[in-house]
Amino acid sequence: MSAISDAKVLEALKAVKDPAKGEDIVSLGMISGLIIKDGNVGFAIEVDPRQGAAMEPLRKAAEKAVHDLAGVTSVTAVLTAERAPQASAGSSQAPAGGKQPATGPGGTMIPGIRSIVAVASGKGGVGKSTVTTNLALGFAQLGLKVGVLDADIYGPSQPRMLGISGRPTSPDGKTLNPMENYGLKCMSMGFLVAEDTPMIWRGPMVQSALQQMLRDVDWGELDILVVDMPPGTGDAQLTMSQQVPLTGAVIVSTPQDIALLDARKGLNMFRKVDVPVLGIIENMSVFVCPNCGHESHIFSHGGARREAERLGMEFLGELPLDIEIRETSDSGRPVVVSRPDAPNAQAFVAIARRLWEKVSAQIGADSPRQAPKIVMQ
């Protein structure tokens, strides 16, 4: 029985040297957030943000060193740039003009991406990922260039819902090519980590993973990047919404959550970080009987619309609770592509159309395609 311990992992990591400094990464104090759970090991390697991509071989070497230990079933190492670069670490290399990327809420816009919309929910299981996938396909049906960023890194669903498997490639060793299906580009932690690997990540690791999926991916030109947020309205979600230059957010809710005010928590979260809430979508609104087509309002109907009005949010529409929506999205053939003319598909497309109206008004996209504005906040 060889239970894996912190000490054993650190001992193994001592064999890995930072080539620039010639010392091992443990002695240099670069390892943080070590977590071990049933043979699954996670940790962060803190690096100078200027070194970024150059540290990828080091990250891989660290993963391998730990993976070789008896009793380890999986290893996830992420690079973080949490600390301010140390004064001694190459301050002479700072660009002469002192040009630094803008930081602050949302960070810099990403060249080539015209708008970014977050899909959020007060809690899990309300259909946020299903709505993200079908809305993204709805945008594509409108002729837009669309990407999906699966930021739900604790439980990524987009690979399954979009029917994509395999791993992204990186021809230049710096940026990843997104995966593609049904005309959408997609990046998800689900492509990078085995599906059965439990995700037990500390805040900084989550943030660096999100930044890498957003900024180190060759998205090309996109009209809209749809972000599947992790469920909930806690600190983690708040920090994530601050890190992405969001054009706006939509909140997905079920009729019963409206009653529990989960949607209101979402609204407040985005208000805190000055992200406009574009509206609320009621999912699983009405139950359509698969046998006779009869519609039953299992939960009180009309509550979401009233609540949205009361809170000053637009009610973007309602989606039925229908087995077709579940079966198609869970099997990687979302209804918007598998039966585009079906009423279920058209309900998503109608919401996508209204959302794009709002987003394009916000970014002034009716004018001919122009270079993206760099927003310094």
In this structure, which amino acid lies at residue 191?
A: F
Pick the binder of ligand ADP from 199, 325, 335, 337 (CB under 6 A).
325
Beta bridge partners of 224: 146
Q: Does 211 bind ligand ADP (CB under 6 A)?
A: no
Tell me which stretch binds ligand ADP (CB under 6 A): 208-216, 268-276, 300-308, 316-324.
316-324
Pick the binder of ligand ADP from 47, 55, 78, 126 (CB under 6 A).
126
Q: Which is nearer to ligand ADP, 72 or 337 (CB)?
A: 337
Beta bridge partners of 23: 18
Q: Which is nearer to ligand ADP, 165 or 331 (CB)?
A: 331
**DSSP secondary structure string, 286-332?**
SEEPTTT--EE-SS-SSHHHHHHHHHT--EEEE--B-HHHHHHHHTT
Pick the binder of ligand ADP from 258, 321, 359, 363 (CB under 6 A).
321
Q: Which is nearer to ligand ADP, 47 or 250 (CB)?
A: 250
Q: Does 134 bind ligand ADP (CB under 6 A)?
A: no
Q: What is the closest distance, in whole angstroms, from the C-beta atom of residue 124 to ligand ADP in the complex?
A: 4
**DSSP-derived secondary structure letter, 86:** P
Residue 334 CA, distance from chain mean position = 19
Cα-atom radius of gyration of the chain, to the nearest Å?
22
Q: What is the closest distance, in whole angstroms, from the C-beta atom of residue 250 to ligand ADP in the complex?
A: 13
Q: Which is nearer to ligand ADP, 112 or 124 (CB)?
A: 124
Pick the binder of ligand ADP from 64, 305, 326, 339 (CB under 6 A).
326
Q: What is the closest distance, in whole angstroms, from the C-beta atom of residue 48 to ligand ADP in the complex?
A: 36
Pick the binder of ligand ADP from 125, 183, 302, 343 (CB under 6 A).
125
**Please, what's the b/e burial string for 30-62 (b: 16 or more CB within 10 A of its CB; e: otherwise)?**
bbebebbeeebbbbbbbbbbebeeebbebbebb
Q: Does 329 bind ligand ADP (CB under 6 A)?
A: yes
What share of residues in the chain are helix, strand, coil (percent, to 5)? 35, 20, 45
**DSSP secondary structure string, 351-375?**
HHHHHHHHHHHHHTTTSSP-PPP--
Q: Does 319 bind ligand ADP (CB under 6 A)?
A: yes
Q: Does 254 bind ligand ADP (CB under 6 A)?
A: no
**Residue number with the smallest Cβ distance to ligand ADP:** 127
Site for ligand ADP in 60-119 (CB under 6 A): none
Q: What is the closest distance, in whole angstroms, from the C-beta atom of residue 133 to ligand ADP in the complex?
A: 8
Closest by Cα among 4, 1, 153, 154 to 65? 4
Pick the binder of ligand ADP from 120, 136, 179, 284 (CB under 6 A).
284
Compute how many residues bind ligand ADP; rule: CB under 6 A.
19
Please state, in angstroms and rounded to a whole number, the distance separating the CA atoms of residues 213 and 211. Answer: 5
Q: Which is nearer to ligand ADP, 121 or 181 (CB)?
A: 121
Pick the binder of ligand ADP from 74, 207, 243, 283 (CB under 6 A).
283
Q: Which is nearer to ligand ADP, 65 or 325 (CB)?
A: 325
Site for ligand ADP in 145-164 (CB under 6 A): 157
Q: What is the closest distance, in whole angstroms, from the C-beta atom of residue 228 to ligand ADP in the complex?
A: 7
Please state, in angstroms and rounded to a whole number, the distance separating the CA atoms of residues 113 and 149. Answer: 12
**DSSP secondary structure string, 231-249?**
SS-SHHHHHHHHHS--SEE
End-to-end CA distance of the chain: 54
User: Which residue in this structure is represented by tokens 């699966």?
Assistant: 150
Binding site for ligand ADP (CB under 6 A): 121, 124-130, 157, 231, 283-284, 319, 321-322, 325-326, 329-330
